[in-house]
Structure formats: structure tokens, C-alpha cells
Amino acid sequence: MRGCRPRELGSTPNPGLMKIQSTMTGNKENFLAIHNNRINLFVCGPTVYDDSHIGHARTYIAFDVVARYLKYKGFSVFYLQNITDVDDKIIQRAAETNTSPRSLARKFEQRYLEDMQALGVTNVNYYARASEHIPEIIDQIVRLIELGFAYETETGVYFDESRFEDFGKLSHQSAEDLEKHRIEPDPSKRNPGDFSLWKKRQDGEQVTWDSPWGKGRPGWHIEDTAITETYFGAQYDIHGGAMDLIFPHHEAEIAQMEATSGKKPLVRYWMHTGFLNVMGEKMSKSLGNFTTIRDMLQRCDADSFRFFVLSSHYRSPIDFSLEAIEQSCSGLERIRQLVKIIDAQLETPGDSLESDEIDANVIEARAKFIEHMDNDFNTTYALRTVFELVRDVNRRINEKTISRRALNDVKELLREFGEILGVSFSVTEKGPTGTAEDQTGNLIELFIEIRQKLREKKDWQLADEIRNRLNELNVVLEDEKAGKGKYSIKKSCGVSK
């Protein structure tokens, strides 16, 4: 990540001091990469049958920061995500909307990538589609059958859970506990808990590939291990995802890959994010509190949401509300306001910036920030350090006891912290496009009138494109049943009114 390494504000970060909370052991473990300073990181990506929601955003923001910080520490990070574009949900939604599964998957994959870009989640090196790894999937299933861990029935190929003695070790469930969570009922299976590796084609099904077991398609779990084996091999450093994927998905991944390779562990460090609740309740469509990333970004800006997510530790549950976003906005603006003050101070003639002496408070703040991030990526305490620095610098500015060199170092340190967290601490208030000309209501009205004419012609695609582009420029358009609709301009931080 360009510009993220420290200038000369203290000692170089020591990669050997990091600890990561392992879901497998339940303890904080010293972090040691398998290949010296090279790290392979895999996080379960989306199933692209609908727009991603803010719970997904919480997870992907958290692991974007993990990747950013590892790079800051001097590691070379290969961050891989899968795209599940072969799945029952995709096929069902395509049938409901009278479109092809492939077209539906590509549409929502693109929208997901746009959402990630809007949120500043930019450190994934490669998105691997399941549909483009069918040969690797088939190869892994063949080996599992040859090793006696899988078997074929008239409905498909299944993993024999009873053959893998460690099944349940990630979720810490006993055999008795597992009996309570049976999946995929099918009388042709040997054991109720056996999960599908390959689903044979059913009548009328179009999404299929040739295989040794006839036409069909892969099960969900096998897609991930085939992809990670392709790019990482049988073992790698970090696997991340949301807490609700621990069982059965991540348990199945462990069973598949460790059975295939005979090597343990599949992953050195399992990391899982806590749930995102909405006003105290778990987010769900049935409760009417389900919020997509796109809907959220209609109401509040990405930096404020990202700051809100990072204000809690990635393993902790967090409660989303517009009030919480406003609080995050206020905190973010406190930091940005200090940067504005520093800029004003530096523009005023004064003492030299050439001193070699580094302000002691800057050195201490940087050391504390790194200490907290080294402790299982504790962004909560890292941000406390930022606010302590802001409070101290504001006091010293008021007392006129801080040098211009120290102010310059504080600004540089805040830039460094902001790049690690993926949040800009120097953004100022701006209009829809940041220029005086583009802030005029007449120009916005012109775009809205053009969009209304496109809607009258039923050119929905181009009309939606205009709406999306206006939203990117902080102009929120609300359609009305009659008329061209109304608009509001989002603040650069916080919730639109």
C-alpha cells in the first residue's frame, strides 16, 4: 500500500510482536507466518444472488484493515476472496426473476465490487469465481473418494463425516452436539450429517458441468478448499469470515482439505467477526431491519460507517443505528478539525520545520497505536490513542507550547493512522463534487430532468446509472410516484437529512 510505511516518527514496527486470537484454540497466539514475511489470507466472499448487506460490510472492512496493517508491518500479503457464483440461491432467484443464473450472478458480483470500492475495501488481490475452478473442484472430489472420505449416491457425491475424527474441532462441538445440527437431509446418504461435494443434475437444471459422476454442479463447501489449494497449497496462514460460518462451512473446509492432503492444520489462524445487530436485534428481512450496503450509503457516508465499524473490536458484536453513525461522524470530525487547525498553523510563518528532534508525544502515540494493533488488531484501543493525541495537541496549541515541526509530525502520524484504518483524517466539507460550479442546484436539476425522461421511456438501466452516479457525488435522489422526485445533499460525514 503506497505511502503507508512510517516516515521517521519512531522505530520500525516489529512483525514478531503480533498476537492473533485463534478461534480454534480460543487463545491469543503469537503470529508466525509460514513463509517468513509472505502471508496468504483467505476470506469467504459473497454468494452473489442479491445485494450485500451491512453485516457483510462489517466483515470485509475488518479484514481490509487486517491486510492494511500486515502490509504496514512489512509483510507481503496475498489476500484472496472467493465469489460463490454457483449456488441454490442463485438458481432460485434467477428463476423468480426470469433471468439466467449466470447473468444474475455477474450482475450482483459487479454490484458487490462497487460496494467494496465505495467502502474503501481495496486490498483484495484476487476474486476467484467458483465457476472458473470446476476442474480443481472435481480433482479434489476424486482424491477424497480415492482416500475413502467420500462416496457417490444416486443424488450426488458426499463427504463421509464419520471418517474424519476431528470434525467439530473449530466450533468445539462434540459428536452429541453435532447430532443436533443435521444438514441436507437425504435418505441416500450414509450419515445424516454428510455434506454434498457434487450435486447431480436434476430435471430441467441448466447450471451443470460434466464430471465422472455425470452432469452436475459443486456443493458450497468444496468450492473454497479447491480455490485455496489452487493458490495457497494445502496450508496457509489466515482464514477469515463471519462468526456464523464457523459451522458447518468452515468445519467442512477443514475436513475436506486435511483429509485430502493429510496435513494439519489447514489454517494457522482462524479469525471470525462478531455479528452486526440493528438497534439491538439481529438483522433479518423478516424483522424489516435488513439494510443493504447501497441503502446504507444512501443515508450516510462511507467514512463514517467505516469509522463506526472500527470503533468496536472485530470479534465483538456491534449495534447499527443512525444515531451510532452520527456519533462516529462527530468523532471523525474532531480528528479532521485538528488537521484543519494544524494546516492553518503551518501556513503561518514561524519556527523551522527542519529540526531532527521528534516530539515525544508523537513517538508515544505511535508506539501505543502499534501496541494495540499488534494485540489482535484492536482498533477500538487504537482509536482511543488517536483521540488522546488529538486532545493533547489541541491543548498544546491553545497553550502555544507546540512547535511547527511537532505539528507537522502529528499531521504525518494522523495520515499514517488513517491509511492503516482506511479512513481519511483530512477530508474537508465538500459539496456534491467538491467544486463551486458543480454545487449549483440548476445542474443537479438538469440531471434529474434527463433521468425522468429516461424513466418515461422505460430506459431503466441508464436511469439507474444516473441515480447511482449522483449518489456517488453525495446527491441522494428520492423518487416519487408523480413528478421527477426530490433530492438532498449528503454531508461529507454523517447521515443525510
pLDDT by residue (tens digit) across 364-416?
999 999 999 999 999 999 999 999 999 999 999 999 999 889 999 999 999 99
Q: Above 70 in pLDDT, residue 351?
A: no
Q: Do residues 385 and 367 both lie within one domain?
A: yes
Residue 408's H or E segment, with its range, is helix 404-421
Confidence band, pLDDT 50/70/90 cuts, at residue 435: very low
Q: Do residues 382 and 407 both lie within one domain?
A: yes
pTM for the structure as a whole: 0.84
Please identify, among 294, 309, 326, the residue that sits at the C-terminal boundary of a domain: 294
In a domain, 337, yes or no: yes
Amino acid at 220: W
Q: What is the reported pLDDT for 442?
A: 62
Please identify, among 391, 421, 451, the residue that sits at the C-terminal boundary of a domain: 421
In terms of phi and psi (left: phi > 0; alpha: psi -120 to 50; beta: otherwise), the region of 278 is beta
Q: What is the reported pLDDT for 470?
A: 77
* Cα–Cα distance for residue pair 57/242, rounded to 1 Å: 10
* Cα–Cα distance for residue pair 275/405, rounded to 1 Å: 43
What are the tens digits of pLDDT across the range 291-331?
A: 999 999 988 899 999 999 999 999 999 999 889 999 999 99
**φ, ψ for residue 363, nearest 5 deg:** -60, -45
Task: Enter the DSSP assignment of 243.
Answer: G
Nearest to 385 by CA among 422, 358, 410: 410
Q: Above 90 in pLDDT, residue 196?
A: yes
pLDDT: is 195 or 288 the higher one? 195
Is 404 in contact with 353 (CB distance < 8 Å)? yes
Sign of CA dihedral 310, 300, 127, 258: positive
What are the tens digits of pLDDT across the range 452-487?
A: 877 777 777 887 888 777 776 667 776 665 555 665
Mean pLDDT throughout 28-42? 96
Q: Above 50 in pLDDT, residue 4?
A: no
Strands 38-43, 76-83: pairing kind: parallel
* Cα–Cα distance for residue pair 497/491, rounded to 1 Å: 9
Roughly what angle, to the nearest 10 degrees, separates helices 220-232 and 134-146?
Answer: 100
The region of weakest confidence among 27-41, 154-168, 280-294, 349-363 is 349-363
Please identify, among 366, 386, 421, the residue that sits at the C-terminal boundary of a domain: 421
In CATH, what number is assigned to the domain containing residue 256? Answer: 3.40.50.620
In a domain, 324, yes or no: yes
Q: Do residues 475 and 360 both lie within one domain?
A: no
Is 13 in contact with 428 (CB distance < 8 Å)? no
Nearest to 168 by CA among 263, 267, 255, 260: 255
* Cα–Cα distance for residue pair 229/195, rounded to 1 Å: 20
- Name the percent of the chain lying above pLDDT 70: 84
In a domain, 84, yes or no: yes
In this structure, the chain runs to a length of 497
Nearest to 491 by CA among 402, 434, 429: 429
Amino acid at 464: D
In a domain, 50, yes or no: yes
Q: What is the DSSP string of 186-201?
A: -TTSSSTT-EEEEEEP
In a domain, 426, yes or no: no
The end-to-end CA distance of the chain, in Å, is 35
In a domain, 49, yes or no: yes
What are the tens digits of pLDDT across the range 247-279?
A: 999 999 999 999 999 999 999 999 999 999 987
* Cα–Cα distance for residue pair 249/227, rounded to 1 Å: 15
Mean pLDDT throughout 162-174? 91
Q: What is the reported pLDDT for 7?
A: 43
Q: Do residues 233 and 343 both lie within one domain?
A: no
Coil, strand or helix at 281: strand
**If you search the block for the grid coordinates 424489516, which residue do you land on?**
288
* Cα–Cα distance for residue pair 51/471, rounded to 1 Å: 16
Mean pLDDT throughout 82-98? 95
Is 273 in contact with 241 (CB distance < 8 Å)? yes
Q: Do residues 57 and 163 both lie within one domain?
A: yes
pLDDT: is 50 or 4 the higher one? 50
Q: What is the reported pLDDT for 15?
A: 64
Q: How many CB atoms lie within 10 A of CB 486?
A: 11
Residue 449: domain span = 437-489
* Cα–Cα distance for residue pair 264/490, rounded to 1 Å: 51
Coil, strand or helix at 208: coil
Q: Do residues 231 and 328 both lie within one domain?
A: no
Q: Above 70 in pLDDT, residue 184?
A: no
Q: Do residues 216 and 319 both lie within one domain?
A: no
Q: Do residues 375 and 228 both lie within one domain?
A: no
